[in-house]
Chain A
Amino acid sequence: MEQHRSHIYGVMAEFDTPEQLVHAVEKARAAGYHRMDAYTPFPVEGVAHALGLKRNNVPLITLLGGLAGGLGGFYLQYWVNVSSFPENIGGRPLNSWPAFIPVTFEMTVLGAALCAVFGMLALNRLPQPHHPVFNVKRFVHATSDRFYLCIEARDPKFHLMETLRFLQGLQPHHVSEVTDA
């Protein structure tokens, strides 16, 4: 079994409905598996919870991006008008901050939105051209109408035959080995 581990990524079970998947994830967690992931064609309520996923860092990154955009946008205008190119227009103060609000607002939104999207992609490690799960022929249904649970080989409890048997016990549509290469 040991030499198999080097090129086995994990074992994957295919389910017909989201409910079956949630149930399977709960069972797998109860059986002591931790290193696993589920694959769904749309965000299924309850799977993230069943997998034990809690908060993620996208909101924090977005907040920081918004703050950087807003502060940077305001400071740019302040610096331009007060120190780089001071102009006396009708005796108004150089730091006419109310006039700087629209650009500050737009830069806040821009910074936050860029960070939300690229932060999400970076945390998800996308773009990623290849991943072992794509080696499973049937996995094309993951973007259509099937729901997958993959228990990964790096799980300390993983044992090819036993894990296969365990997944088969969950009444999946199909079970397949996921190879690394």
Chain B
Amino acid sequence: MLSALTSMSQEIREIKPASRAVLAAVLIPTIAALNYVGGVIVEALKAPIWGDTWATMLGTLIAGFWVGAAGGFLYNIIMALTVWGLPQWVWGFANVAIALITWIMMKMRWTDLRKPITWVMALILLGIIYPLFTTIISIAVFGGGPLWKPIPAAVYAAVLNSTGNFFLANYVQSLVTEIPDKLISFAISVIIASRVPRRFVLVKV
């Protein structure tokens, strides 16, 4: 009787409501939608960030690189096909880069916000190296140029005027927006990931 109960409880524990592949298939559009709604909430609360990449980081932290990257890429594809204009789909690769950096940070265990190393590496990887990637895309695909937000556009004009260096103007403009946005987004995604129930965490660190 006892052995029957034990085997039954094992059987119950092993039953999963849905396979990992199906959970991942549902998580990907959820991440894309959370990225979108994150941007909307930023507008509503006037938060000082873009707020549309933290879900990519969260997806990577709870479900692995491919789910995070696919969710982030999908978000960019949907925005490119609707609100931003088709050529903006290339920013999907920026979301893949963010998923990759988050995955590296997770594997290296740089996700404890109380440790200075986490902030230093986040600043280096997300704040300094990642904007290099976005600057190259911005110049190669879109010809560079100022953003349509006043502060980055003013920084762009000031750097271009004082140095005459087109690449530097684009890079510094990118730094101004990316350093606060990506550091805050990373912190948000780590805080949320730590509160997500275990049953949703598909990734093994």
Q: Do A and B come from one complex?
A: no
| Chain B interface residues toward A at CB < 8 A | none
| Chain A interface residues toward B at CB < 8 A | none
